[in-house]
Amino acid sequence: MKKNVVLYKALSAPLMAKLAAETDVTSIPDPTSAEGLARLRDALPHAHGLLGASLRIDEPLLALAPQLQVVASVSVGVDKYDVAAFDRHGVLLTNTPDVLTETTADTGFALLMATARRVVELAGLVRHGQWHGSIGPAQFGTDVHGKTLGIVGMGRIGQALAQRGHFGFGMPVLYHSHRAKPSVDERFGARHCALHALLRDADFVCLTVPLTAETKGLIGAHELSLMKPSAILVNIARGPVVDEAALIDALQNGRLRGAGLDVFSQEPVATDSPLLRLDNVVPTPHIGSATQETREAMAACAVENLLAALRAERPKDLVNPQAWRG
Ligand code: NAP
């Protein structure tokens, strides 16, 4: 008999066909709406697998799904999942690393460039008919090439950023991670350092750490005060890694040149957030991996992981190997 899968993210036709060939699929496009939640609750008691993203899955939800074997997340970040609860229930959790690395690094660099060169602000000036002559110093941006790039979290995406900064823009690279990575030092001429030293010396600080208990609030008022007033913060990690109120304060009071933000403490960001009124902020709606090619590759990866787990094969991208009983 086919296993039951609850799908809470749209899939392309080929991926849907692949999934439906091996499983019975129940699609719940918006599991956070009242109607979607009710349908999810009905489906969970029979579900062997879940596939989707951005839905918090924790103890109460897992308790409704006694047959559940695997949750295949269409994301690399796993902060929405209570992994300890997954382990207690013997449910496998998979993610989609690697396939989104380059695209997310592209997004990081796009934000870095757009903030430094004030692309969005000045495009708005043109669009609104306020380009009356040659622009002057009040509209000048700041150079990117040759400046110091600081990367907090030198993992897959951090290294893809380092590659862009080092080879593309001749930037000296500093990084802060749990440990030094000699291969990274060698490839990108990078230097591992303490967080406070990175914040003090970098012209661009890019956050690429996962959101964990350890990284929540990692960049607060004190950390922001260590940064150069001419520096730019780029957050492509998760919103809660930064104390948003402290960031707003620093930006409003000229203690930071600007910020490129793909992620926020609350998403979608509140329309009355002061961040949206600041010209020196470039906000994007969590688009790190949002290209057609990469989202399709992520979905394909999640389908592979889910089907493998349901066939009792070890999935390639297992987040909690401790729950594997293969
Ligand atoms: P990864 O390869 O696991 O890299 C994460 C790095 O963070 C690791 O190298 C780790 O250092 C470091 N780290 C973890 N905790 C740290 C801490 N407390 N202090 C300093 N460094 C710490 O993950 P990835 O694939 O690069 O993805 C990183 C994160 O980016 C994801 O978890 C996700 O939240 C975010 N992301 C966002 C988007 C978006 O749309 N904006 C898209 C993709 C990913 P060690 O190696 O030394 O342990």
> In terms of domains, do 132 and 158 share one?
yes
> In terms of domains, do 78 and 120 share one?
no
Question: Is 238 one of the catalytic residues?
Answer: yes
> In terms of domains, do 115 and 25 share one?
no
Report the alpha-carbon distance of residue 48 to residue 68 in Å, rounded.
4
> In terms of domains, do 304 and 279 share one?
no
The burial of 285, by beta-carbon neighbours within 10 Å (0-12 exposed, 13-18 middle, 19 or more buried), is given as exposed
Cα of 190 from ligand 1 centre, angstroms:
17
> In terms of domains, do 124 and 217 share one?
yes
The pLDDT, as a whole number, for residue 326 is: 79
> In terms of domains, do 50 and 106 share one?
no
The pLDDT, as a whole number, for residue 30 is: 93
Structure tokens at 101: 């690395």
The pLDDT, as a whole number, for residue 151 is: 99
Tokens 């509209």 appear where? Answer: 139
The active-site residue, picked from 118, 286, 295, 304, is 286
> In terms of domains, do 262 and 301 share one?
no
Total of domains in the chain = 2
Q: Which domain holds residue 224?
A: 101-283
List pocket residues of ligand 1, CB cut-off 6 Å: 76-77, 97, 100-101, 104, 153-158, 176-179, 208-211, 214-215, 236-238, 262-263, 286, 288-289
Q: Which positions of the chain have pLDDT values less than 70?
A: none
Tokens 């150069």 appear where? Answer: 228
Cβ proximity of 7 and 51 under 8 Å? yes
Question: Is 325 one of the catalytic residues?
Answer: no
Give how far the C-alpha of residue 270 lies from the chain's centroid of Cα atoms, to the nearest Å.
19
Question: Is 286 one of the catalytic residues?
Answer: yes
Give how far the C-alpha of residue 214 lies from the chain's centroid of Cα atoms, to the nearest Å.
17
> In terms of domains, do 169 and 232 share one?
yes
Structure tokens at 43: 């489906």
From residue 255, give the alpha-carbon distance in Å to each of 31, 168, 250, 323: 41, 28, 5, 47
> Best substitution site from 208, 212, 264 to test ligand 1's pocket, by max atoms within 8 Å of Cβ?
208
Ordered strands of the 149-152 beta sheet: 191-192, 173-176, 149-152, 204-207, 232-235, 258-261, 281-283
The active-site residue, picked from 35, 59, 214, 267, is 267
> In terms of domains, do 170 and 274 share one?
yes
The pLDDT, as a whole number, for residue 108 is: 98
Q: Residue 182's domain is classified under what CATH number? A: 3.40.50.720
> In terms of domains, do 314 and 278 share one?
no
> In terms of domains, do 170 and 319 share one?
no
The active-site residue, picked from 238, 244, 257, 295, is 238
> In terms of domains, do 301 and 191 share one?
no
Cα of 290 from ligand 1 centre, angstroms:
18
* DSSP class per residue in 256-325: SSEEEES--SSSSPPTT-GGGG-TTEEE-SS-TT-SHHHHHHHHHHHHHHHHHHHTTPPPTTBS-GGG--
Cβ proximity of 199 and 150 under 8 Å? yes
Report the alpha-carbon distance of residue 238 to residue 264 in Å, rounded.
7
**SS3 of residue 89 by DSSP:** helix
From residue 106, give the alpha-carbon distance in Å to each of 63, 163, 170, 326: 39, 11, 16, 37
Q: Which has the closest alpha carbon to 139: 255, 259, 279?
A: 279
Which atom from ligand 1 is nearest to the alpha carbon of 160? Answer: 26
